[in-house]
Structure 1
């Protein structure tokens, strides 16, 4: 089986850390540090992707807040709102190219506009490892 035929849905993280826009900044930080991840997908009540909150977003919020004497707020105020997503059926090599080109670590996976998981650099590395172990070659 060629590596390019592996779909995102086969190696995506099915239960990644997700938060709501109303989640407090400190709750999001706690969730990410506890799970040892560098970011979380932000979902609305309809399970649609509305943003991404990263460690960098959180750090920027803390620094900005420290200058103004008010640290905190909700994820919605600090998240990246312009979020690219991938389709569950997209092949992993195309996703890998996007991650590298756009210097991203993760992309939410959607099916029918609804969030179903997350694809990351680690997802690709797991797929390659699995493929190599089965076939002893790339």
Structure 2
């Protein structure tokens, strides 16, 4: 009697070329962005309304200036209470993170996975010619894994 595989017969599938699976294929495009002069209260309202945890801050030419997150907003709420300052006067530019790491849209998706693991970031903005064109998040990576044939993803 031969060996019985509990995985069942596997079809011979042609493996995809890893270099062809790019971050830009799975990035989110129509992003909600914020301006540096917006109030933090507007940001909080938008984050809650759209059920997102943060967003890029861009200038009028769509150049990335920073990122503002729930955590940045929480810090501002705490400071406004502690220093008895009105939150309505708080502007995004004073609370956003300005040193933002980006990722290349041409990077293959598997290298992006490694970058997420190394940096422990939740998302990376993607720039083209200095302008924001999208964002790749850990959730986008998980969606990519589900959309791809399981064998093509896991056999890498």
CA RMSD of aligned residues (A): 1.8
The residue that corresponds to 1:89 in the other structure is 106
Aligned residues of 2:145 and 2:153 also touching (Cα < 8 A): no
- Of 124, 135, 147 in structure 2, the residue corresponding to residue 107 of structure 1 is 124
CA distance in structure 1 between the partners assigned to 2:100 and 2:24 by the alignment: 19
The DSSP-based 3-state class of the residue aligned with 2:66 is strand
Q: Where does 1:125-136 land on structure 2 (aligned, <5 Å)?
A: 125-132=142-149
Q: Structure 1: state its 5+ residue gaps.
A: none
CA distance in structure 2 between the partners assigned to 1:122 and 1:86 by the alignment: 15
Matched, 1:23 2:38: yes
TM-score (norm 1): 0.91
Bigger radius of gyration, 1 or 2? 2
Structure 1's consecutive aligned runs of 4 or more residues displaced over 2 angstroms after TM superposition are: 2-5, 132-138
Query: Which shows bigger deviation, 95-104 or 39-48?
Result: 95-104
Offset at 1:5?
Answer: 3.4
Which is strand-richer, 1 or 2?
Answer: 1
